[in-house]
């Protein structure tokens, strides 16, 4: 009954090779979608919040977009320091204020 | 100037023991959380407190008991530790219990032998 699914599970990129990560959710009633970055041995670091379809947020080489059933995290011209696990999480109307996480996408950017 | 801090960072203990993990936030937030991240890296919420009041209590064994002495602190006490409790436990905080971003601590890696 996974409510949040992230794909791919892992992504290997060459430095400068742009790509996108996907986060889809199966339950309706999205109140907010969050993207986090997690480095090995550390806690998740907040990146973006998206609230409604059509919304976009950008930070350096990262851009998050939201449609009615999914979100994309675009990484433009990545650098090795962008290597991390990227986590997507949602707050759904049916779940109160509980943040539900996807399994993450491990991104490795090779120089 | 750590926003959300946890102690200890590592905890190795034997089955049957009782242990506590402490969390403090200096962000002035009203809401604090405990999450468990298992070996497959899934993060799952365990508890949430809003201004010292328990507001989320997921299906967690009652060997786990959170305590919030004030809104800046949230501790997690675990009784009779089991092998399956081995995981990384994260504390987090947010402005309120609504749709706000949560800020996470560095985690406590608990190993039960």
- DSSP for A12-78, please give it: EEETT--EEEEEEE-SS-EEEEEEEEE-TTS--EEEEEE-STT-EEEETTEEEEE-SSEEEEEE-S-
Max Cα distance, chain B (Å): 39
Query: CA A110 → CA A16, A76, A78, distances in Å?
Result: 9, 14, 9
What is the pLDDT confidence band of residue A1, given thresholds at 50, 70 and 90?
Answer: low
* Residue of chain A nearest B4, judged by CA positions: A43
- The confidence score (pLDDT) of residue B1 equals 65
Give every CB contact of residue B103 below 8 A, 6+ residues apart in sequence. Answer: A46, B3, B4, B25, B27, B29, B92, B93, B94
How many residue contacts between A and B have a Cβ separation below 8 Å? Answer: 52
More confident residue, B37 or B96: B37
CA distance B57 to chain A (A): 10
Cβ contact, residue pair B104, A85, below 8 Å: no
- The confidence score (pLDDT) of residue A52 equals 92
**Tens digits of per-residue pLDDT, A42-93?**
999 999 999 999 999 999 999 999 998 899 999 999 999 999 999 999 998 8
pLDDT at B12 over 70: yes
- The β-bridge partners of A45 are A37
- The confidence score (pLDDT) of residue A2 equals 61
Query: CA A34 → CA A73, A83, B51, distances in Å?
Result: 11, 19, 23
Cβ contact, residue pair B101, A34, below 8 Å: yes
- The confidence score (pLDDT) of residue A26 equals 83
- Torsion B37-B43-B46-B51 (CA) sign: positive
Q: What is the mean pLDDT of residues B48-56?
A: 87
B90 touches chain A (CB under 8 A): yes
Cβ contact, residue pair B90, A34, below 8 Å: no
Cβ contact, residue pair A101, B44, below 8 Å: yes
What is the pLDDT confidence band of residue B96, given thresholds at 50, 70 and 90?
Answer: confident
Q: What is the mean pLDDT of residues B15-38?
A: 96
- The confidence score (pLDDT) of residue A97 equals 79
CA distance B20 to A2: 31
- The confidence score (pLDDT) of residue A81 equals 97
DSSP secondary structure letter of residue A90: E
Q: What is the mean pLDDT of residues B45-58?
A: 88
pLDDT at B61 over 70: yes
What is the pLDDT confidence band of residue B51, given thresholds at 50, 70 and 90?
Answer: confident
Of A34, A98, A103, Cβ closest to residue B56? A98
Cβ contact, residue pair B99, A45, below 8 Å: no
Q: Which is it for strands A70-75 and A19-25: parallel, antiparallel or unpaired?
A: antiparallel
- Residue B57 is encoded by which pair of tokens? 């209590």
CA distance A30 to A91: 6
* Residue of chain B nearest A6, judged by CA positions: B42
- The confidence score (pLDDT) of residue B106 equals 97
Q: Cα A83 from chain centroid?
A: 13
């Amino acid at each position: 009954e996974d409510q949040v699914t992230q794909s791919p599970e892992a992504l290997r990129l060459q430095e400068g090779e742009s790509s996108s990560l996907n986060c889809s959710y199966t339950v309706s009633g999205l109140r907010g979608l969050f993207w986090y970055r997690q480095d090995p041995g550390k806690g998740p670091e907040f990146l973006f919040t998206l609230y409604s379809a059509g919304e976009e947020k950008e930070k350096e080489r990262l851009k998050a977009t939201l449609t009615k059933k999914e979100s994309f995290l675009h990484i433009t011209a990545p650098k090795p320091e962008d290597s991390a696990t990227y986590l997507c999480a949602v707050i759904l109307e049916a779940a109160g204020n509980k943040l539900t996480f996807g399994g993450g996408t491990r991104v490795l950017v090779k120089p | 100037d750590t926003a959300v801090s946890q102690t200890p960072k590592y905890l190795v203990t034997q089955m049957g023991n009782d242990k506590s993990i402490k969390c403090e936030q200096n962000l002035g937030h009203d809401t604090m959380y405990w999450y468990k991240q298992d070996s497959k890296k899934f993060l799952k919420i365990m508890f949430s407190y809003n201004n010292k009041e328990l507001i989320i209590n997921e299906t967690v064994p009652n060997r786990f008991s959170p305590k919030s002495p004030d809104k800046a602190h949230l501790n997690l006490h675990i009784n009779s530790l089991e092998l399956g409790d081995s995981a990384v436990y994260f504390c987090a905080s947010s402005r309120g219990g609504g749709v706000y971003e949560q800020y996470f601590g560095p985690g406590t890696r608990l190993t039960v032998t």
